[in-house]
Structure 1
């Protein structure tokens, strides 16, 4: 009897131990598959969703509140003239392949990002760097051409993570960073897996393993959550089912804000879209609320320019491009445009595919026909973003504080107005908060008045998770699924 009880107790203990152990792994759903796993050589948000703060780290990082925090740099000093930032690095840090991290890796990473042949999608972040000097293994001095108070923020982007010369060439498929997780495998079309880094220099993470499953179809995403095949879906693609999850005690619904300005982007160099009157006509043909209700089931905030409404410097310019189909028709007549057909390229996200159908109907109502092409994410990046081969497209720009993209004449919607470029140059040289605020407001008004794009809505962050999971971000001040504080509760 004694031995039987002991065996039973042992079996129960083993079962309990197994159950407890299982609660340090997580499976997350993602709509878009990353085209590669190198955040320093790709524009897709899905790259950062997997690797930012998990595999790779920068000198600084963005926290869940949007504030800049120390990362590989434990602190930094700024010279009196505001041009030189001296970063003091953590010591005892190693990359996942065992190589040592030091100031030489920082110099390599920054010089690589700003090089003439750089593949970095946000090369402009580094344009103001004049020189990078190794002071000693734990100290790096970055001298800028002009003072820039936002430099620590720029260094917190995924595009500015620190990589090693030994592994940089293969990061697209073998990401090696200094982060609390290390890469395990990537089965294309299915999942990416990462595991706890036992040699991490900082605070150990609670999760031993995380798997990112690629589930693009909203119906399949719903089924996977309900079946428990996925533990959390931080950016859930089926907002129409959120009420059902909210009513089920097994789940929690997490609704917050993002940096995602969702726009109907227009090719400003492609006739007749090179005519501001035609772009204005398109903007007035758009009923934002109908798109928010029809494509996003009410989740989203209408915007009239490329700026987040939760930012204190936001200007509400929605009235400038208010829904007015009669005005739209009159503007098209004024521009001498009739029988117009435009190509509308749609990437996979729900907001684009569902929103595109609604916008096509709205444009048809004012006499503009559209030819819709559904593109996979890699196709969209190649054809639209890199090739600029499109008329219209819908995309959510999830990078933080990214109005400066309008200063790039070769950016995919091809604006780059000299007066706007001058504004951004002035912004970079302005440290005074009031002065920066005034410039940002002027910038918002300029692109809205030029109807560069049709501004739709600020993407809401709608997530679903197992009710026992804590630590997922409510808001998305950047593009990451930062797992550093994620854990299960009993």
Structure 2
């Protein structure tokens, strides 16, 4: 009897262990709720944080190390002149509504993204396309106006995912892609749920379901993690508590880098911010380390231009805008500016709200008053990003290698200097790595010396997860919570 009881207990223990190891659902925390779920018609990073590589796929994709990998295109050929890309597509692929994917969907998606009335937030990614031609259902040829060695990189962005004409009208609220997860529900203000798509063409996801819970308050985020209501918070909004998590065996802290250049953006279109001396004065009034320590609890790398420090072509230009309040006052006097009051719009992220209070105090110390307005993300997109109705704002640009945004005169901070536009056009046509590196360094120096914005720090990726979860990205080469390799372990 004793031996039978022992064996039964052991069997129960094994059964319990199997049940634990078989856990296949996950709840993730997110600070910001996406304004919609269509990455081809929205600028918010929170869209890609839900759908990139999970629901939607492009011809190519970014891997966790930033490498450009095949996705819906299993391979591609490039013509000798660098202008023609022939993509060979995977076959047997279906969208989540059961419709077949083929080259016609690629043509539809690329033509839609580059159309005159396109709502794509990164329309410049497609500006170099001359024609898109369907060769057969599994082959599509894209001919560019000029050679562009970065085209596979451009196609890896979330803005370049492939959509179908049958479902495109409802992507904002009911996204339909080809990825390993399909959309289930969106309880606005609370959560978004996706589940494994059993008809997926590639390696099936190990998770059966994932729920993204919207928790914007840092205190609530901490409480949710501690209570186990959330299994992982990839971009955790309360870095001051990371030390507490790191000493608790139930959790692991994941600290990496992002593509997020965090900047104090200035509206270059309107006086007095159209005066480079005023912009330089603002830059010298800011103590980067004080912001990193006070708003991010030490997490972040100072930057002096719009470029990631982990990129091999990065130039450290922080010295051009070193903290120097006396120089700031002198520059304002030279510009003939006094009694200056500027509007400072702060979106919800912790870096913006906490950092904004510090920057307001630093600007006050050199004689610049600020009127702070806390805005929700949708309002920021409408008022600041689209409407250009602001003086100053703080935001992290989390798109990969996006210094080319400074070539857009209609972009929200309104730079678009002709010399910079020409520099970017030359870069696009240049394929030699050494020459491209030199051009990128020139670009960094030009915007730093023009003090287009005040460059603060590279956003660190600070995450917390249950210690039994594997496969979450450590770094963020793009704005994503890629769940394709995420799983639970004993």
The TM-score, its normalising length taken from structure 1, stands at: 0.97
Distance in 2 (alpha carbons) for counterparts of 1:359 and 1:370: 9
Counterparts in 2 of 1:66-465, with a 5 A limit?
Answer: 66-465=66-465
What is the SS of the residue equivalent to 1:195?
strand
CA-CA distance at 1:11 after TM superposition: 8.1
Paired position in structure 2 for 1:487: 487
Shift in CA distance, 19/470, structure 1 to aligned 2, threshold 3 Å: closer
Cα offsets for 1:139-193 (capped at 9, x unmatched): 0000000000000000000000000000011100010000000000000100000
Counterparts in 2 of 1:15-26, with a 5 A limit?
Answer: 19-21=20-22, 23-26=23-26
Paired position in structure 2 for 1:62: 62
Distance in 1 (alpha carbons) for counterparts of 2:447 and 2:365: 25
What is the SS of the residue equivalent to 2:359?
helix
What is the SS of the residue equivalent to 2:259?
strand
Q: Considering only aligned residues, what root-mean-square deviation do their CA atoms show, in Å?
A: 1.6
CA-CA distance at 1:16 after TM superposition: 6.0
What is the SS of the residue equivalent to 1:461?
strand
What is the SS of the residue equivalent to 2:41?
coil
CA-CA distance at 1:7 after TM superposition: 10
* 8 Å contact from structure 2 (residues 21, 489) kept in 1: no
Distance in 1 (alpha carbons) for counterparts of 2:378 and 2:211: 21
What is the SS of the residue equivalent to 1:99?
coil
Distance in 2 (alpha carbons) for counterparts of 1:259 and 1:444: 15
CA-CA distance at 1:270 after TM superposition: 1.4
CA-CA distance at 1:103 after TM superposition: 0.1
Paired position in structure 1 for 2:477: 477
Cα offsets for 1:403-441 (capped at 9, x unmatched): 000000000000000000000000000000001000000
* 8 Å contact from structure 2 (residues 131, 142) kept in 1: yes
Distance in 2 (alpha carbons) for counterparts of 1:7 and 1:226: 34
CA-CA distance at 1:13 after TM superposition: 8.0
CA-CA distance at 1:351 after TM superposition: 0.2
Distance in 2 (alpha carbons) for counterparts of 1:42 and 1:123: 11
Distance in 2 (alpha carbons) for counterparts of 1:7 and 1:156: 53
What is the SS of the residue equivalent to 2:360?
helix
Cα offsets for 1:272-313 (capped at 9, x unmatched): 000000000000000000000000000000000000000000
> Which runs of structure 1 show a deviation greater than 3 angstroms over 4 or more consecutive aligned residues?
4-21
CA-CA distance at 1:20 after TM superposition: 4.5
Cα offsets for 1:336-387 (capped at 9, x unmatched): 1000000000000000000000000000000000000000000100100000
Distance in 2 (alpha carbons) for counterparts of 1:394 and 1:218: 18
CA-CA distance at 1:10 after TM superposition: 9.4
CA-CA distance at 1:14 after TM superposition: 7.4
Which consecutive unaligned segments of at least 5 residues does structure 1 have?
A: none
What is the SS of the residue equivalent to 1:169?
helix
What is the SS of the residue equivalent to 2:42?
coil
What is the SS of the residue equivalent to 1:379?
helix
Distance in 1 (alpha carbons) for counterparts of 2:19 and 2:176: 30
What is the SS of the residue equivalent to 1:355?
helix
* 8 Å contact from structure 2 (residues 255, 462) kept in 1: yes
What is the SS of the residue equivalent to 1:305?
coil
Distance in 1 (alpha carbons) for counterparts of 2:243 and 2:367: 37
Which consecutive unaligned segments of at least 5 residues does structure 2 have?
A: none
* 8 Å contact from structure 2 (residues 21, 488) kept in 1: no
How many pairs were matched up? Answer: 488
CA-CA distance at 1:245 after TM superposition: 0.2
Distance in 2 (alpha carbons) for counterparts of 1:8 and 1:119: 61
What is the SS of the residue equivalent to 2:348?
coil
